[in-house]
């Protein structure tokens, strides 16, 4: 049953993918876009490593419990793949740590936009490694996406903000996290084909705590718990249970029921939802240059990602 998550029920062309609203995927887009803003708010109380330690311990166990219930005998089937899965878990832990640290230092809308270039880096890495040939359209999309990111980073206003204490550093760290996610997608592909995407994601998330617990447990314990309001606890539950639990499961269910084409195109909406939520709740104010950069970046990512046989991008939000 669970292994069917990576087998689309039907295939659609890119033009057909937008012909009908894919409501499950759209709901996940809203969850991930708003979840990034919620995470940015929570970083006002939690340290990046401390919150990740909490999120991946609880969220990883939730995901693993779900897939274990749906897939009896999971432990036996994964036993031979433990070491590769452990390596993926370590990589995921480092990548996620970079994501949250970058988000803590920059604006939420900039962070999500920079991270949305992850599929581009996946294509570039496999092309440089000689695993795949990128067309001129792919390379053009790559440089267009980088130009859009440059517009977003360099087109910011001059006013300082405590919301983004070191935005350039944060953007660079987020870019490194996007590259690491591209590496993760390439290295995880054989295991995903063998065991299923959701299973590999759940196991890798649990194993990412090999990195996150030593780094973040002390900071998690030192969290000023007395300062947490009911809103903080609601957002913690939203980020873990809804963002990770609902988001991951519904995304891969959508891939199975609606097809990869009608699901993956929705990932381009996540930075837009993040932007709208950041403006509404964090009072971030992007400039005209930045808005233009967002459009250019998403267009470049779209063209750079159109390849016949490449690792299908997994959920890039909330990573």
- What integer pLDDT is reported at residue 307 of this predicted model? 59
Asked if residues 23 and 224 have their Cβ atoms less than 8 Å apart, the reply is no
Closest to 56 (Cα-Cα) out of 211, 179, 233: 211
Q: Tell me, what's the pLDDT at 2?
A: 46
Cα-based distances in Å from 96 to 90, 93, 111, 181, 211: 10, 5, 13, 9, 10
Give the side-chain half-sphere CA count within 13 A for 17: 20
Position 206 scores a pLDDT of 92
Q: Are 318 and 177 in contact (CB under 8 A)?
A: no
CB 84 within 8 A of CB 215: no
Task: Retrieve residue 142's tokens.
Answer: 């790559």
Cα dist. 244→115, 202, 205, 210, 272 in Å? 17, 10, 10, 19, 20
Distance CA 315, CA 11 (A): 19
For residue 208, the model assigns a pLDDT of 95
Phi, psi of 281 (to 5 degrees): -105, -30
Cα dist. 222→14, 51, 101, 147 in Å? 49, 11, 17, 41
Write out the chain's pLDDT in tens, 319 residues: 444 444 444 444 545 544 577 888 889 999 999 999 999 999 999 999 999 999 999 998 888 888 888 777 677 767 778 899 999 999 999 999 999 999 999 999 999 999 988 888 888 888 888 777 778 888 888 888 888 888 888 877 655 566 777 888 999 999 999 999 999 999 998 988 888 888 888 899 999 999 999 999 999 999 999 999 999 999 999 999 999 889 988 888 887 787 776 777 788 888 989 999 999 999 888 888 888 888 898 888 888 776 544 444 455 445 5
Largest CA distance in the chain: 57
CA distances from 128 to 39, 144, 274, 308 (A): 34, 18, 32, 17
| Residue written as token pair 């640290």 | 101
Nearest C-alpha neighbor of 165 from the set 102, 98, 99, 106: 106
The confidence score (pLDDT) of residue 315 equals: 53
Q: What pLDDT was estimated at residue 9?
A: 46
Q: Which residues lie closer than 8 Å to 16 by C-beta, 6 or more apart?
A: 261, 262
């Amino acid at each position: 049953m669970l292994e069917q998550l990576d087998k689309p029920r039907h295939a659609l062309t890119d033009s057909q993918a937008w012909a009908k609203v894919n409501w499950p995927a759209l709901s996940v887009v809203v969850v991930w876009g708003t979840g990034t803003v919620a995470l940015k708010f929570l970083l006002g109380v939690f340290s990046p490593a401390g919150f990740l330690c909490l999120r991946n311990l609880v969220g990883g166990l939730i995901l693993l419990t779900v897939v274990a219930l749906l897939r009896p005998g999971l432990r036996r089937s994964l036993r031979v793949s433990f070491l590769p899965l452990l390596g993926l878990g370590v990589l995921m832990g480092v990548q996620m740590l970079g994501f949250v640290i970058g988000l803590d230092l920059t604006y939420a809308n900039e962070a999500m936009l920079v991270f949305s270039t992850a599929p581009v880096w996946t294509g570039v890495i496999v092309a440089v490694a000689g695993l795949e040939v990128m067309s001129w359209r792919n390379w053009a999309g790559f440089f267009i996406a980088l130009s859009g990111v440059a517009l977003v980073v360099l087109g910011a206003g001059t006013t300082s903000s405590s919301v983004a204490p070191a935005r350039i550093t944060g953007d660079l760290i987020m870019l490194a996290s996007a590259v690491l996610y591209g590496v993760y997608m390439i290295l995880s592909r054989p295991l995903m084909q063998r065991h299923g995407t959701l299973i590999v994601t759940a196991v890798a998330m649990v194993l990412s705590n090999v990195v996150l617990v030593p780094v973040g447990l002390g900071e998690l314990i030192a969290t000023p718990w007395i300062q947490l309001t009911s809103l903080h606890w609601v957002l913690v539950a939203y980020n873990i249970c809804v963002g990770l639990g609902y988001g991951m499961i519904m995304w891969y269910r959508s891939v199975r029921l609606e097809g990869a084409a009608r699901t993956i195109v929705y990932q381009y909406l996540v930075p837009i939802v993040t932007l709208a939520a950041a403006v509404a709740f964090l009072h971030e104010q992007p400039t005209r240059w930045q808005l233009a950069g967002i459009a250019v970046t998403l267009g470049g990512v779209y063209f750079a990602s159109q390849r016949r046989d490449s690792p299908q991008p997994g959920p890039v939000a909330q990573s």
